[in-house]
Chains A and B, each alone.
Chain A
Amino acid sequence: MPNQNSLHGENRKLLVRLSIGALVMFGFGFVLVPFYEKICEVTGINNILKADEVVNTQVDTSRLITVEFDANIHDLPWQFHPLQSVVRVHPGELVTVAYEVENTRDRPVTGQAVPSYGPAISGQFFRKMDCFCFTQQTLAAGERRTMPVAFVLDPALPDDVHTVTLSYTFFEIAGRNAALPATGDGAS
């Protein structure tokens, strides 16, 4: 047993080490953020902002798939709708459709569209070559813009899927990315 003074010293040394450990773990929680983003990037799990590669362009004329388009806005003073609500396409065929969006507010607003798919399984077969959802869109006050979506339905789409719904939701960009200048996307 060490005497009282050296015990105090030992205790204090361990206290400092354990406190540093706690601080390091606090930092570790934040390190998980870029780590997670890197993993998603490397494994391609969360690449909604990138154009897809087409793996098979063989058009399957034996099937005709109904593709429905939907548009939603989330807390955004915009008008947003697809120019055509339904198209019928062959898997493998390159299709271009357009959405129209209008800023009804009297100041510029930046938004980001996030796609979702129904049924959910069709998402991985819905390959977008070009999409306004790959970038943020900044609309001047009162500006109206027509934006294209070019896509190919992968012929590997399961046989029991006859209708695919593509739904976009526009979110207003506030926060850390708001300061970014909107990149031109050739969509106007």
Chain B
Amino acid sequence: MAAVIPDHLNEHHHGPSGLMRWITTTNHKDIGTMYLLFSFVMFLSGGVMALTIRAELFQPGLQVVVPELFNQLTTMHGLVMVFGAIMPAFVGFANWMLPLMVGASDMAFARMNNWSFWLLPVAAVMLIGSFFVPGGATAAGWTLYPPLSIQMGMGMDLAIFAIHIMGISSIMGAINIVVTILNMRAPGMTLMKMPLFCWTWLITAYLLIAVMPVLAGAVTMILTDRHFGTSFFNAAGGGDPVLFQHIFWFFGHPEVYIMILPAFGIVSQIIPTFARKPLFGYASMVYATASIAILSFIVWAHHMFATGMPKQGQLFFMYATMLIAVPTGVKVFNWIATMWRGSMTFETPMLWSVGFIFVFTLGGFTGLICAIAPVDIQLHDTYYVVAHFHYVLVAGSLFALFAGAYYWLPKWTGHMPNETIGKLHFWCSMVFFNITFFPMHFLGLAGMPRRIPDYALQFADFNAMATVGAFGFGLSQLIFIVVVVKCVRGGEKAAARAWEDADGLEWTVPSPAPHHTFEEAPVFK
């Protein structure tokens, strides 16, 4: 399956150089790299916010920040991590890898691809810059619930515009991905022969197109309530704040699958490679992904059990939510069955993937517990929920992103990442992650509310523990910078097929992948 890369394709392209090269580039690899760098910068800024929050919560009482700033920090940490770090990171992977995996020369709309990326720094500057306007950044929580979001200062308006811009960027990115996957696959690659990462991204892209506009509509309604005299959510004018929660979570629940389905895809690429067996139950993986996506549209009100819904409504959303555990369970089963009796080795990407399965499944189980309506009334808005969604978003999405980064770094840089430092990164992250978030289950069960800068004395020990863990986890991420810098600068040369049993078209091009690949479509057998 080795593709012949003509020499002239290895030459650098003849566009502008220096900064203008990056601003004007339409190359999917350049844009993918920029997405990944951008999301890592946002990950670090969101991380600094998280550490400030944890520093404040180290001890009861107020020590580090004033409550107003604390509220801004919890809000912005959520917005920055969701819209600035996790989502763009997955789009970065899609940009880099999808054309290589389906054997296309580039994304379908290369110019639009450039736009999708360059909207993001603009939105990020608006979002983070809102800390410095009068009244500070929005402090309504990342869910932007009215009436708070209607009462906030101009930081809220900046957040709304930033969400609009990031939404447009995501939709353009998603359209590009759908068209690339549907129209530009190599001859012979039928849909059911695609790598699973392509499948999960195809479904994710449809989810993005379906729900990002709904979020844009919801924040537009907040904007007009704030400035143009409408009363969608303003109770004084006959509006209803609960309506916002319905619209928001109609977006919000598919959104959490937007952040996890591509992670499933990455893990489904890595585990067969290091278990040296084909993926167990490929077709069932595809159907499970699609089922999760479809079910995600009918479970939104499980975020709202405490709003006083009729019990028939609570029961419907409770059972629908529990139903999602079935396709998710199919996936976990298939990953484990793939490893079963495989010739497993534990290089860094595999460690992250196996770690992902372990901690993500824990987060899945606490999700099931939260889905039980009578239990959720007790747990709603406590640290149990914080523990739950960090188990699925940090140990789920983020660990899978690191797994993918270690897996494809040889293809991006031409060098193997340093195994020793990579493993150190994994073990530090894994241990400190659990020290940070596991105690939060106990805090939540004991009734500690989330988003509050102070707490009762009996919560002090677990909070101190979580803060120590958080700083450990935050500092561990700096190890990743060392790995990437070393890997870019040099190291063991990577072969075209960097990992012994890696399968897929991306391993047929040299490492590092030349600027232009698959100008002639490869033949997929």
Interface residues of A (CB under 8 A from B): 1, 7, 10-11, 14-15, 18-19, 21-23, 25-30, 32-33, 36-37, 40, 43, 45-46, 74, 112, 114, 171-178
Contacts and interface: CB of A to CB of B under 8 A. Distances in A.
A32 B179 contact: no
A40 B182 CA distance: 41
Contacts of B203: none
Nearest to B240: A46
B178 A26 contact: no
B216 A29 contact: yes
Contacts of B232: 33
Interface in B162-185: 171, 174-175, 178-179, 182-184
Interface stretch (B33-41, B242-250, B415-423, B436-444): B242-250
Contact of B179 (A15, A21, A114): A15
Contact of A19 (B175, B183, B186, B238): B175
16 contacts: A11-B179, A18-B175, A22-B175, A22-B209, A22-B212, A25-B214, A28-B214, A29-B221, A32-B214, A32-B247, A36-B246, A74-B236, A174-B237, A175-B231, A175-B237, A176-B231
Contacts of A1: 186-187, 521
Interface of B: 108-109, 171, 174-175, 178-179, 182-184, 186-187, 209-218, 221, 225, 229-232, 234-238, 240, 243, 246-247, 250, 310, 521
Contacts of A7: 183-184
B210 A21 contact: yes
B310 A45 contact: yes
Contacts of B182: 14
A177 B183 contact: no
A37 to B, nearest CB: 8
Nearest to B184: A7
A15 B231 CA distance: 35
Contacts of B238: 112, 173, 176-177
A29 B212 CA distance: 10
Contacts of B217: 26-30
A161 B225 CA distance: 39
Query: Closest 4 interchain pairs by CB?
Result: A29-B217, A171-B236, A175-B237, A26-B213
Name the residue in B212, B217, B221 with the highest tally of chain A Cβ atoms < 10 Å from its Cβ: B217
B240 A174 contact: no
Nearest to B234: A175
A176 B237 contact: yes
B209 A18 contact: yes
A19 B175 CA distance: 8
A69 B217 CA distance: 40
A15 B230 CA distance: 34
Nearest to B237: A175
Contact of A114 (B216, B235, B521): B235
Contacts of B234: 175
A171 B179 CA distance: 51
Given A18-B179, A22-B212, A32 B250 contact: yes
- Most chain A Cβ neighbours within 10 Å, of B171, B174, B250: B171
Most chain B Cβ neighbours within 10 Å, of A10, A29, A46, A177:
A29
Task: Name the residue among A33, A45, A178 with the largest chain B CB count within 10 angstroms.
Answer: A33
Nearest to B182: A14
A175 to B, nearest CB: 4
B310 A43 contact: yes
Contacts of A19: 175
A176 B213 CA distance: 24
Given A15-B179, A18-B209, A29 B236 contact: no
Contacts of A11: 108-109, 179, 183-184
A7 to B, nearest CB: 6
Contacts of B174: 18
Contacts of A175: 225, 229-231, 234, 236-237
Contacts of A46: 240
For A7, A18, A36, A43, the residue with the greatest tally of chain B CB atoms inside 10 Å of its CB is A18
A10 B183 contact: yes
Contacts of A30: 217, 221
A180 to B, nearest CB: 9
Given A18-B175, A22-B171, A171 B235 contact: yes
B237 A29 contact: no
Contacts of B187: 1
B369 to A, nearest CB: 25
A36 to B, nearest CB: 5
Contacts of A74: 236
A12 to B, nearest CB: 9
Contact of B213 (A10, A29, A43, A171): A29
B243 A33 contact: yes
Given A175-B231, A175-B234, 12 more contacts: A1-B187, A7-B184, A18-B175, A26-B217, A28-B213, A28-B217, A32-B246, A43-B310, A112-B238, A173-B236, A175-B230, A176-B230
B22 to A, nearest CB: 25
B254 to A, nearest CB: 11
A11 B238 CA distance: 46
A33 B232 CA distance: 8
A185 to B, nearest CB: 16
B162 to A, nearest CB: 17
A25 B237 contact: no
A54 to B, nearest CB: 22
Given A26-B217, A33-B232, A176-B237, A18 B184 contact: no
Given A25-B214, A29-B217, A176 B229 contact: yes
B213 A22 contact: yes
Interface centre among B174, B231, B235, B236 (most CB of A within 10 A): B236
A112 to B, nearest CB: 7
A37 B209 CA distance: 26
A33 B215 CA distance: 13
Nearest to B112: A15
Nearest to A136: B238
B206 to A, nearest CB: 9
